[in-house]
Structure 1
Amino acid sequence: MTNSELSNKILELVGGKDNIVTAANCMTRLRLTLKDVSAAQKDEIKKAEGVLGLVQDGNTLQIVVGPGKAKKLMDIFREELGVASVAADWQENKAAMKAGQKQNGLKKALRTIAEIFIPLIPAIIAAGLFNGLASLLGQMMTDKVIAADGFWSLIKTMFSLIGGGFLGYFAIYTGINAAKKFGATEALGGMVGAMSIMAQIVDISKFFGLYNETVPLESVLTTGKGGIMGVIVGVWILAKIERWVRKRVPDVLDLIVTPLVSLFLTAAIFVLAIMPAAGFISDWLVKALSVIINSGNPVVSVISGYVLSAVFLPMVLLGLHHGLIPIYAIQLEKLGGVSLFPVLAMAGAGQVGAAIAIYLKAKKVGNARMRKVIAGALPAGLLGVGEPLIYGVTLPMGKPFVTAGLGAGFGGAYVMFTHVMSIAWGPSGLVAIPLMSNTVGMLNFFIGLVIAYVAGFIITYVGIKDADVANV
């Protein structure tokens, strides 16, 4: 089935263009919010050739089609089939959206945080890769594999420049995206982020007696205190203040008075209250996580690594994984690396091993459809995009989703035991290897992947019956 044929088929099965409120895509999915989700033929969508899985979230259908394909289908939706971003009267859209909102406060908060960071992921990955390559070149220079000056020194400097160009100003990018989400002026949101990393914070801290001259990082208030979570809260406050001020300022003075007053009030609250409070919380969180994540006790490391990897994908299904993104960022700011991401990355490797086991059993029992689905989804899984395998293979079958997690735990235990750290986060498969902080970390991360592949394969192959695969 061609992409055009599949687009038309999906449009028909969701109830036509008039039933679509919003249409968008992510890396692997079409996200269609419907006026009447009951009008969609969900079973038929799942069976359509080219569809790897279907997830319903309220009135939104997330149709898993795989990396690359999702964007192509959405282009066809918009350019050939006339499906606009908003296809109905705004009052109808609002009612439809409200009808589909059945999330509790925690999930809404986590989703909000995720929506702020998701647009930054390509830059996080790119910056991490460039910093990783710069680190690798630096290690090779230390080991005298390559010359420490001349051409390779220039390349290392260029890589560090590109990587630092994002990570050095992460707070500013976060402030801009948070402003988009909360409805504040984007440039003002970026200014709130910039405030948090300015040197003047130290002068203010000293004025109020909040600065620790002996151990600056333990100051109640210092540059970067509170990190990006503090920035997000600060921009949320900015949005509230900006709206309040704008309502009370004459139109002719809005351009001058509103940003001036909004930023001054926000800055006072942000610097003197939000940054210290967020800093206290982030410091406490890092210390609490260090008890299990950075434990010097090998037994604790192995057990915590196994459990975290094994339960990560169920967390994804519940939408709780969004809450891990700020933890990654806090670790990166406080520790200079992320220890949680390499462990959780093993969850996708367990799915790969399980899928290979199912493929062999599908070949044995003659299930051509399942073999075709796995063959299409497996390359993406190896590269760290696990959704096609999860929603197209293991989750619909049930038991393999569990056995994959059990296998992933062994990889997580090894990675935690060897204290692998990453300098960024992104896709979790083979492409994540350069994100590890040094050559030893890269090697141990790769070994962890292999362990998870093998364990996921063995547990799944032993744990499921041929009949389970034949009847899918």
Structure 2
Amino acid sequence: MDNKELAKKIVELVGGKENVLKAANCMTRLRVTVKNPSLVKEEELKNTEGVLGIVFDGNYAQIVLGPGKAKKVADICIDELGIPKDMSVDEDWVENKEEMKAMQKQSPFKNAIKTIADIFIPLIPAIIAAGLFNGLASLISTLQGQAILPAEGTWKVIQLLFALIGGGFLSYFAIYTGINSAKQFGATEGLGGMLGAISISPNIVAISTIFGLYDADVPLNSILTTGKGGIIGVILGVWILSKIEKWIRKRIPDVLDLVVTPFLTLLITSLLFVFIIMPVTGYISDLLVSGLSLIIGSSNSIVNIISGYILAAIFLPMVLLGLHHGLIPIYAIQLESLGGVSLFPVLAMAGAGQVGAAIAIYIKAKRVGNHRMQKIITGALPAGFLGVGEPLIYGVTLPLFKPFITAGLGAGFGGAYIMFSKVMANAWGPSGLVAIPIMKPESMLNYFIGLVISYIAGFIITYFVMKDNEVKNV
């Protein structure tokens, strides 16, 4: 069945064109909004060739087709079959994930996590690019130090250029965070960026010294110093800035608003930010880093192995609950304080465990003649290897449930190895094989080994836990 035939079949099974209000591509899924959900033939749709899975919520249907195919089928539905396009859906992969999480019941905690995610998600492409450039610059520098590459000339220029590009984002991470925080909190974006810039200004040290808050012997132990509080401080500072700005704007005459409001807002917020927010959030960040060091940076190998296993094993349930976005500030804190991220490579093993589990299910599906499941796995596995886990989650492991658990148990072994070998990344972003380039040069091989361990462990555990009849009847 080609893409056009599949598009026509899907429209037919969701109640026909007259029952479809709008459609859109969500990376690996075709999302359709229907008038009458009772007209949707869900079982027939699940068994349709090319459909990897379905997620229903009210009158929304997320039909999992896999990367690439989902976009082509959506285009056919909209351009050739005349289905209205859902303009509210951004086809970017990040927006797609947020759409899925929006289906879940929200709580103040989840809303807070979503706000944090919305601050950092637009920055992910830059984070990845900066990490890659810094990683390449570090690799070239290492090879130059080993006399494999010349220390001067063209390679020196390339090394400096790559370091310049990578530093162009990561050196000013606080400013970008301030701008995006202002967007989320309804403040003026430029003011949010200015607050971020204040946090990394060298004048902080001079002010801190005057008030006796700076430790010249051990600067990092200072109550107040450049970067103190990190991105946590910037986010909190911008949130307070947004409240102050709105309060002042209501009380300032329109004719004076453009001049007086930003001036007073920054003056008041900056005083609070420098003398209260930065020291307090700096103390919190220091405690968090210390706590993380006990768990994921311990000198005790047994602690490393256990924590690595647990973190990788529970990550997929965290993704389903939408809690994984709460880890983004931790990534950022690690990047700021350690120059790299050790938590991300551990959690990336979760997807690899799922790949191994899917391969085990494929073998069993072939044995019992479940050709539909074989086709689903064949279509979803390439994306799984490349770090796109949704097709395997919604098409294979979650519907069967047991493999969803065994995939995590298998991933834990890879996570334990990653933590034990102290793998460090230059940034965070997509997982799977495509994350190898964003690892630090000395960590690339161990990261790959961790993936292989997760593949194998996920396969073995799933193969022996799942019964043939459980795969046959799905």
The TM-score normalised by the length of structure 2 is 0.88
| SS state at 2:147 partner | coil
Secondary structure, in 3 states, of the residue corresponding to 1:146? coil
Which moves more between the two structures, 75-84 or 261-270? Answer: 75-84
Q: Map residues 11-26 of structure 1 onto 2, 5 A cutoff.
A: 13=14
Is the alpha carbon distance of 1:417 and 1:228 closer, same or farther for their aligned partners in structure 2, counting shifts above 3 Å? same
Report the equivalent of 2:94.
none
Change (3 A) 1:381 1:101: closer
Residue 207 (str. 1) matches residue 210 (str. 2) = yes
Distance 1:110 1:35, change over 3 A: farther
Pick aligned residue for 1:466 from 462, 465, 468? 468
Which residue identity does 1:163 align to in structure 2?
A: G
Q: What is the CA–CA distance in structure 1 between the aligned matches of 2:58 and 2:274, rounded to whole Å?
A: 39
- Aligned residue pair count: 459
SS at match of 1:410: helix
Task: State whether residues 11 and 17 of structure 1, in contact with CA within 8 Å, keep that contact through their aligned partners in structure 2.
Answer: no
Q: 1:428 aligns with which of 415, 428, 431?
A: 431
CA RMSD of aligned residues (A): 2.9
Most deviating of 40-49 and 255-264: 40-49
Structure 2 SS opposite 1:447? helix
Matched, 1:52 2:55: no
What fraction of aligned residue pairs are identical, expressed as a percent? 67
Do 1:58 and 1:100's aligned partners in 2 also have CA atoms closer than 8 Å?
no
Residues 206 and 108 of structure 1, relative CA distance in 2, 3 Å threshold: same
Consecutive unaligned residues of structure 1, counting only runs of 5 or more, are: 88-98
> What is the 5 A alignment of 1:102-181?
102-181=105-184
Residue number in structure 2 paired with 1:235: 238
Deviation at 1:29, TM superposition (A): 4.5
Distance in 2 separating the partners of 1:214 and 1:182: 38
Which residue does 1:95 correspond to in 2? Answer: none
Residue matched to 1:312: 315
Kept in 2, the 8 Å contact 1:353–1:453? The answer is: yes
Per the alignment, residue 266 of structure 2 pairs with 263
CA contact (8 A) 1:129 1:434 kept: yes
**Aligned residues of 1:78 and 1:84 also touching (Cα < 8 A):** no
Does the CA-based 8 Å contact 2:196-2:234 persist in structure 1?
A: yes
Aligned to 2:452: 450
CA distance in 2, matches of 1:291, 1:445: 22
CA distance in 2, matches of 1:203, 1:59: 59
SS class of match (1:337): coil
Aligned partner of residue 213 in structure 2, secondary structure: coil
Q: Give the match for residue 198 of structure 2.
A: 195
Closer/same/farther in 2, CA of residues 104 and 136 from structure 1, 3 Å limit: same
Alpha-carbon distance in structure 2 between the residues aligned to 1:262 and 1:11: 57
Distance (whole Å) between structure 2 residues aligned to residue 175 and residue 33 of structure 1: 36
Give deviations 1:177-225, integer Å, cap 9, x for gaps: 1112111122222112111111111122223322111111111111111
Q: 1:56 to 1:189 in 2, by over 3 A?
A: farther
- For residue 218 of structure 1, the aligned residue among 213, 218, 221 is 221
1:464, 1:299 → 2: CA distance?
30
* Contact 2:14/2:20, CA 8 A, preserved across alignment: no
| Shift in CA distance, 232/407, structure 1 to aligned 2, threshold 3 Å | same
2:379 to 358, 365, 376: 376
**Unaligned segments of structure 2, at least 5 residues:** 90-101
Offset of 1:14 from its aligned partner?
9.1
**One-letter code of the match for 1:451?**
I
> Which residue is 1:92 aligned to?
none
Higher mean alpha-carbon deviation, 459-468 vs 34-43, is at: 34-43
Contact 1:17/1:83 (CA < 8 Å) preserved in 2? no
Q: Distance in 1 between matches of 2:281 and 2:38?
A: 43
What letter matches 2:250 in structure 1?
A: K
Q: Cα–Cα, structure 1 residues 179 and 7, in superposed 2: closer, same or farther, change >3 Å?
A: farther
Structure 1 residues 241, 447: CA separation in 2 closer, same or farther (over 3 Å shift)?
Answer: same
Match of 1:295 in 2: 298
